[in-house]
Amino acid sequence: MPRRRDRHDRGIRGPIAAPGSPATITRRPPRAQFFQQCLTEAIEQVLAHCPAAFDHVEVGIEEVPHLTSQWSGDRVPLAAGLEAYRRHPARVVLYERPIEHRATTPAELRRLVHRTLVEQLATLTTRSIDELGGIDDWD
């Protein structure tokens, strides 16, 4: 049996267990995919309370907000609500990195995504926060 080289004492090369075996570790979804899941769950929650909440409103994700002089001090926005103009519908844009930076646990990230989405929708659509599903009753 040929011996594998261990250059510079770097340790074992390659997988330790075959894919699909019980020894493989179940991994969490990648960061961006988890954020999308949180947003999808938040949208479903809002639609369950108010089916017309997203009429003429688009929802999107940007990794970070573009630099602007309108920010006050060191505060970075979590989202932006853009009103409809010409033939473009109203838009809610959630900024992924600032929201992730403020959340310390996955559950807190879910709540913060939901809360941010509801607050932006309430501002754009002039519906009440309670009508859109509330911001404190979501688990």
Within 18-134, residue ranges assigned H as helices are 31-49, 96-102, 106-125
Count the neighbouring beta carbons within 10 Å of the beta carbon of residue 6: 10
Radius of gyration over every alpha carbon of the chain, rounded to an integer in angstroms: 21
Read off φ and ψ for residue 61, nearest 5 degrees.
Answer: -125, 135
Does the model's pTM come out above 0.85?
no
Average confidence (pLDDT) over 35-53: 93
Residue pair 57/25 in contact by the 8 Å Cβ criterion: no
Domain positions in the chain are 31-65+77-125
Instruction: Read off the pLDDT of residues 70-118 as tens digits, 9 standing for 90 and up.
Output: 655 667 889 999 898 888 899 999 999 999 999 999 999 999 999 999 9
31-65+77-125 is a CATH 3.30.2010.20 domain: yes
- Contacts of residue 83, defined as CB under 8 A and 6 or more positions apart, other chains included, come to 90, 124
Average confidence (pLDDT) over 31-39: 91
